[in-house]
Amino acid sequence: MSESIISIQGGSKTFAGIYAIKNVDFDLKPGEVHAILGENGAGKSTLTKALAGVLELTEGQMFFAGEECNFKSPRQALKAGIAMVFQETSLVPSMSVAQNLYLGEEKFYNRLRGLYISAQQFLQGLNFAVDPTVDVAMLGAAQKQMVEIARAVLHNAKVIIFDEPTATLTPEEKQHFFKLLQQLKDKKVGVVFITHALEEALEEADRITILRDGEHILTDDAKNMDRDSIIQAMVGRELSDKLYSKDGKRRSRPRGRKILSVENVSMQNIVKNNSFSIYEGQITGIFGLIGSGRTETAKIICGVEKRDFVHGGEILLNGKPVRYRVPEQAMQDGIAYVTEDRKIEGFFETMSIGENIYMGELAASGKAGVLLSNKLRKNISDEWIKSLNIKTLNDDARVSELSGGNQQKVVIAKSLTQRPSLIFFDEPTRGVDVGAIQEIHDQLSALAAQGLAIVVIASYLPEIMNLSDRILVARQGRIVEEFNVNEATEESIMYAAVH
């Protein structure tokens, strides 16, 4: 067995006396790609934060390059050669790419020009198509990630840790990302990445570590594992992986009344003459690649996208034209938008889970003055915590203390308490583990069966296929094709999305 570059032995971390990870062993070899898997709240982020000096272990030992170490800050860890790329990037948006790369070393570059030239050469050497003079705020998710990786390489990182790096990437960007990992491997850099996409771990990782409830369950070569064995180890029981089975033909629910029609809606170059209808009692899936305008269209309907930008067309709710300037107006009419961008639009981070869900209840009553009794309030939040299996270390945890996937469940619970009749879910299961995806899908199906109109926007085809009764394909700002799920295949949908 070759030497580890970094390892943790018997590592534990507690928050207010409760274990987030407990007695975990982990090791990484030079040039290895190591995936960490586990359900939401299993302790993946906590473990990697300990490796990167973001958190200090409460118990256990850590070794780096053969010596015991104890990093007190991410800065110290980075100096030693350990870089971590967080889900929310740590770049400074208002600074240029070059400034971000050399942050803290500006004194070596007393002229901006020198900084740009040096950054340009460095980025080219890595084959990254990023303009060093542009502000980071202007970059897309994939390019931001390139800058983060470049910065890590620039610091001669021996270990690079990624927390859910692919969650915000398009399929093409993911391909590119994994190619980059291969380059890092060739440089003998050790890579750790967290993901909920089991296929990614199976295909791209050399070894896989699985955590459950803060404990280390197993570490093995990816080639010795498959989807079923991973799921079994993650949840500790056999979970029927019916989620994405292709064969189990489903009958679609019958379409109910038409609740919404969108007629020739346009916005700048993003949405072009878009027309389609949504029906009650069904789940309508909208599939499309980046630039297909699917999210923008949903945002126009729900009043999230500013009205001034809408350049024409009509939206009819139950036959009456509507035009919302803010999401609250849409909500009053029973239209909810559950966003993919939970950090920005989702919730009040410093409030507890119960308070957040309760805010949804208040909004539904339409009268901020109406107060629910404490007991009723607790009942409501308990019910949701149970039905969506929201995992917390203690009952009145703030949302900011929850793991990423559990935060997403709170966003969903909050919008469902508002009892809308038409709901748009934009990437509802991003960052959510396999077991919880099933729970969320079951909830959505139950809502459709109750007669609600559900719209799901997702970029993972199997998810769309599994969930929808009807599938709309968006391309270049318009819905171009419509399928009943019984007649759709992944190939036919993809063909429509690309051609």
Ligand X SMILES: Nc1ncnc2c1ncn2[C@@H]1O[C@H](COP(=O)(O)OP(=O)(O)OP(=O)(O)O)[C@@H](O)[C@H]1O
Where does this chain bind ligand X (CB under 6 A)? Answer: 15, 20, 38, 40-46, 391-393, 401-406, 433
Counting residues that bind Mg ion (by CB under 5 A) gives: 3
User: Which one of ligand X, Mg ion, none is in contact with 15 (Cβ closer than 5 to 8 A by kind)?
Assistant: ligand X
Confirm or reject binding of residue 209 to Mg ion (CB under 5 A).
no
> Among 152-160, 201-209, 335-343, 400-408, which window interacts with Mg ion (CB under 5 A)?
400-408
User: Which one of Mg ion, ligand X, none is in contact with 74 (Cβ closer than 5 to 8 A by kind)?
Assistant: none
User: Which one of ligand X, Mg ion, none is in contact with 409 (Cβ closer than 5 to 8 A by kind)?
Assistant: none
Rounded to the nearest whole angstrom, what is the least distance from the CB of residue 385 to ligand X in the complex? 12
Q: Which of helix, strand or coil describes residue 287?
A: strand
Binding to Mg ion in span 21-50, by CB under 5 A: 45
Rounded to the nearest whole angstrom, what is the least distance from the CB of residue 256 to ligand X in the complex? 35
Binding to Mg ion in span 111-150, by CB under 5 A: none
Q: What Rg, from alpha-carbon coordinates, does the chain have?
A: 24
Q: Which is nearer to ligand X, 48 or 143 (CB)?
A: 48
Rounded to the nearest whole angstrom, what is the least distance from the CB of residue 439 to ligand X in the complex? 14
Name the DSSP class of 254. P
Q: Which is nearer to ligand X, 3 or 341 (CB)?
A: 341
User: Which one of ligand X, Mg ion, none is in contact with 38 (Cβ closer than 5 to 8 A by kind)?
Assistant: ligand X
Residue partners of 182: CB distance under 8 A and separation at least 6: none
Confirm or reject binding of residue 404 to Mg ion (CB under 5 A).
yes
User: What are the beta bridge partners of residue 422?
Assistant: 335, 453
Confirm or reject binding of residue 443 to Mg ion (CB under 5 A).
no
DSSP class per residue in 153-206: HHTT-SEEEEESTTTT--HHHHHHHHHHHHHHHHTT-EEEEE-S-HHHHHHH-S
Q: Report the 10 Å Cβ neighbour count for 146.
A: 23
Q: Which is nearer to ligand X, 99 or 166 (CB)?
A: 166
Rounded to the nearest whole angstrom, what is the least distance from the CB of residue 467 to Mg ion in the complex? 24
Rounded to the nearest whole angstrom, what is the least distance from the CB of residue 163 to Mg ion in the complex? 6
Q: Alpha-carbon distance 206 to 34, whole Å?
A: 6
Rounded to the nearest whole angstrom, what is the least distance from the CB of residue 326 to ligand X in the complex? 30
Confirm or reject binding of residue 214 to Mg ion (CB under 5 A).
no
List the structure tokens of 368. Answer: 């901020």
User: What are the beta bridge partners of residue 67?
Assistant: 64
Confirm or reject binding of residue 431 to Mg ion (CB under 5 A).
no
Q: Which is nearer to ligand X, 216 or 391 (CB)?
A: 391
User: Which one of ligand X, Mg ion, none is in contact with 46 (Cβ closer than 5 to 8 A by kind)?
Assistant: ligand X
List the structure tokens of 118. Answer: 């040096």
* Nearest by Cα to 129 from 111, 110, 150: 150
Q: Report the 10 Å Cβ neighbour count for 16.
A: 8
Q: Report the 10 Å Cβ neighbour count for 442.
A: 12
Rounded to the nearest whole angstrom, what is the least distance from the CB of residue 265 to ligand X in the complex? 35
Helix (H) or strand (E) holding 480: strand 478-484
Q: Which is nearer to ligand X, 135 or 215 (CB)?
A: 215
Report whether 400 contacts 343 (CB < 8 A). no
Report whether 422 contacts 278 (CB < 8 A). yes
- Kindly list the residues in this chain that would bind Mg ion in the complex (CB under 5 A): 45, 403-404
